Amino acid sequence: MSEAQQRAGAFFGRRKGKKLRSGQDELVQNLLPAIRMVPGGAPAGQFPNANARETWLEIGFGGGEHLAAQARTHRDINFIGCEPFVNGMAKLLAAIEHEKLDHIRVWDDDVTKLLPTLPDACLDRVYILYPDPWPKRRQRKRRLVSDEMLDMLARVMKPGAQLRFASDIDDYIGWVLARVLRSDRFRWTAERADDWRRPYEDWPGTRYEAKAIREGRVPSYLTLVRV
């Protein structure tokens, strides 16, 4: 039985947290529909700059700190952010409006509903940062990274595109590497321990990472290349 057949439920937990403030609710009602990805359409055509150098996707952006930081730094790149948790989406929407980050588009549902609608080889980089580890053995089938997910990502990623995966859960790092090493579509680039121990060069950090370090957990940063 494949991992896909074993899965039960979504890869994420709650869709909503505490009640949104009025300003946040207004952004969700008005800005979100305006910048939501349209399934089936070519990504480039959904951005003001259709000729942007690259398109990067972040799956599960949490509060949007990393995505917003990358968008500030790389104004010539188009970004797609996926996050079903409405409170996290509201935080990113606030940054988009305040800083005029018009080169971000979002998807507020399960990423597996978006990926099949994207054209082949349309993404230059994908981030999966501190996803829910689903630590209990019976929950592991709900982990985002699976053989099937790697196949889905491989189709939409260009040859040479990077998949960056970070986690503070050793078991999840091992889980991902096991699936990458048996895949013929991705290659782990590490040559020495520092290649996964040190953050990425343009890494702004995230609140999940800060919490992990405070609690004594050591993050790992995997760089996987689409073969």
Q: Give strand ranges (E) for the chain.
A: 54-59, 77-82, 104-107, 123-129, 157-167, 186-188, 220-226
Cα 36 from Cα 34, distance rounded (Å) = 6
Cα 11 from Cα 96, distance rounded (Å) = 26
Residue 225's DSSP bridge partners are: 162, 187
Kindly name the residue from 109, 110, 132, 147 that is annotated as catalytic: 132
Question: Catalytic site residue 195?
Answer: no
Q: How far is CA 69 from CA 18, 96, 103, 169, 209, in A?
A: 25, 11, 12, 24, 15
Residues annotated as catalytic are 132
